[in-house]
Copies of this chain bind each other. A is one copy, B any other.
Amino acid sequence: MVDSINKPGRLRPAPENFLSEEQIKAVGAGRRDFLRKSFLAAGAALAAPVVARASEGDSAILNLPEWTTTLGQAVAVRPYGVPSKYEANVIRRESPGLTRVGAASVSFCPLQSLFGIITPSGLHFERHHQGWHDIDPARHRLMINGSDPEFLKKPKVYTMDDLMRLPSVSRIHFIECGANTGLEWGNVAVPTVQYTHGMLSCSEFTGVPLKLLLEDCGVDYKKARFVLAEGADGSSMTRTIPMEMVENGEVIVAWGQNGEMLRPENGYPLRLVVPGVQGVSWVKWLRRIEVGDKPYATKDEAVHYIDLMPDGLHRQYTSIQECKSVITTPSGGQQLLDKGFYNVSGVAWSGRGKIKQVDVSFDGGLNWQTARIEGPVQNKALTRFNINWVWDGKPAILQSRAIDETGYVQPTYGQLRKVRGTKSIYHNNAIQSWKVLESGEVSNVQVL
């Protein structure tokens, strides 16, 4: 039937009952008032049931909402659109007191209000070390050099125009700060998923593979086994990346995010995209790449972004974000208004590849059911899961447990602490628990 209606070239005359002969004559004679009244009557008949229900029995025709009875706003009133005024609470939020100054702080993404896998760029989490700038792309440069001339034969300086002429790729990837869920290592620290897991976002990034740039500069892969990435802000943000990650083509020097240029607070005009790796390595405002033969031991890998282990030593050079998931609806701070059916929804991700399966428990981990994974499943990207739940009004503990394509299973807090203790800041990928009370209130709890 679809085909018969849409078959190219098939012709169908207008149904005879579309306009009566009288109506057609009315138009011809300019008797618009007749048509107007006919249409108003028809409109009222169509709209009545909806409005009657909405307004609890008031006269339907008198209660048509203003958006049905008035002319709306013109196109391009907003040449660049913004959300509805009714969504004013869906914003990034800073955690007061987390850091001393806002220029070296975090704003968290409102995961509890989001759908699907793409994070709107306006809500992408922020983590700066010395604040963000709106850099002039005409003045920005990317230099590529070697710590020894042997490692890279033709050091170059690229303008943005130079870079944007090169072969580009577009890929959807998550980015997660290594410190995401960091406040939860030892105890329940914050009430909502925005603060427990909100240093997490997912975008479609566009840029040139770093591999291509290094080869353009005559890299010697046998000698140059590490890459140093350096940002243009004042924080001296530098990180070492092993060359294996570059050689497989996954690391991108990106200018595009969700279809447009990067936002200033996400590194405009250039940032490094290191899929699967913690956010600190995705150097923003990227101005320099150096290749060398050993890790660079920069401050943000040697003395920061390290994990204090139970034996008192620090775990360094951690980078890949292991498989993790979280239920975003319902989540801490939300309220179930009544018993009955709910679509329980969340996101899963892994720095090792694609998500294979997500299980959900409604009883704190005693029983598990496999969730539906619907929508795009991409390499090292957020993956949306959904599962049906009929809430009987009794207390419940909701958990999700992700499994990636390597077979790695997201650990419980008990399993993770057995190896890592409770003193770390980074790389907490334990199963999150949300407790539902009889009142419908949802809160953050830890289950070992």
* Chain A contacts with B in 231-264, Cβ cutoff 8 A: 232-234, 236, 242-245, 255-256, 258-264
Does A405 reach chain B (CB closer than 8 Å)?
no
Q: Does A15 contact B (CB under 8 A)?
A: yes
**Chain B residue with minimal CB distance to A49?**
B143
* Chain B residues whose CB sits within 8 angstroms of the CB of A230 once the complex forms: 46
Q: When the two chains form their complex, are residues A233 and B118 in contact, meaning their CB atoms are under 8 A apart?
A: no
Question: How many angstroms from the CA of A84 to the CA of B252 in the assembled complex?
Answer: 21
* Chain B residues positioned under 8 Å from A204 (CB to CB): 116-118, 375-376
Taking CB atoms and an 8 Å cut-off, the chain A residues in 97-144 that contact chain B are: 101-103, 105-107, 113-124, 126-128, 130-137, 139, 141, 143
* Pick from B5, B131, B141, B260: contact of A114, CB under 8 Å: B260
Show 24 A/B contacts (Cβ-Cβ < 8 Å), sorted by A. A6-B320, A11-B316, A12-B317, A13-B316, A15-B297, A18-B297, A68-B233, A73-B265, A74-B103, A75-B105, A75-B132, A76-B105, A78-B265, A80-B123, A81-B124, A83-B260, A83-B261, A84-B268, A90-B261, A118-B118, A161-B337, A165-B341, A169-B386, A170-B384
Of A116, A169, A375, most buried by chain B (CB within 10 Å of CB) is: A116
**How distant is the Cα of A1 from the Cα of B67 in the complex, in angstroms?**
61
Contact indicator B386/A122 (Cβ below 8 Å)? no
A234, B68: Cα distance in complex, Å: 4
- Closest B residue by C-beta to A85: B134
Which parts of A281-324 form the interface with B (CB within 8 Å)? 285, 287-288, 294-295, 297, 302-303, 309, 313-320, 322
- Please report the total number of A residues contacting B with Cβ < 8 Å: 153
Q: Is the CB of B264 within 8 A of A84?
A: yes
Copies of this chain, count: 2
The answer to whether the Cβ of A154 comes within 8 Å of any Cβ in the partner chain is no
A57 at the interface (CB under 8 A from B): no
Q: Are B15 and A236 in contact (CB under 8 A)?
A: no
The reply on A342 being an interface residue by CB < 8 A is yes
- A423 beta carbon closer than 8 Å to chain B: no
Question: With a CB–CB cut-off of 8 A, which chain B residues contact A302?
Answer: 14-15, 18
- B374 in contact with A50 (CB, 8 Å): no
Complex-state Cα separation, A78 to B264, whole angstroms: 11
**Contact of A233 with B18 in the complex, beta carbons under 8 Å:** no
Which residues of chain B are near A70, meaning CB under 8 Å? 133, 234
A172 to B116, CA, bound (A): 9
Q: Does residue A356 face the partner (Cβ distance < 8 Å to B)? A: no
A75→B128 CA distance, assembly (Å): 7
A93 at the interface (CB under 8 A from B): yes
Output the least CB separation between A431 and chain B (Å). Answer: 17
Picked from B75, B81, B169, B342, the residue with its CB within 8 Å of the CB of A102 is B75
Q: How far is the CB of A50 from chain B (nearest CB, A)?
A: 4
Any chain B CB within 8 A of the CB of A30? no
Q: Does A366 contact B (CB under 8 A)?
A: no
Determine the distance from Cα of A40 to Cα of B391 in the docked complex, in whole angstroms: 60
A11 in contact with B79 (CB, 8 Å): no
**How many whole Å from A289's CB to the nearest CB in chain B?**
11
Asked whether any CB of chain B lies closer than 8 Å to the CB of A77, the reply is yes
Query: Given contacts A8-B322, A71-B103, A74-B103, could you give 13 more A-B pairs where the C-beta distance is less than 8 Å?
Result: A8-B419, A11-B309, A47-B288, A66-B133, A68-B232, A72-B130, A73-B131, A74-B102, A80-B83, A80-B90, A80-B123, A86-B269, A376-B376
Q: List B contacts of A169 (CB < 8 A).
A: 374-375, 386
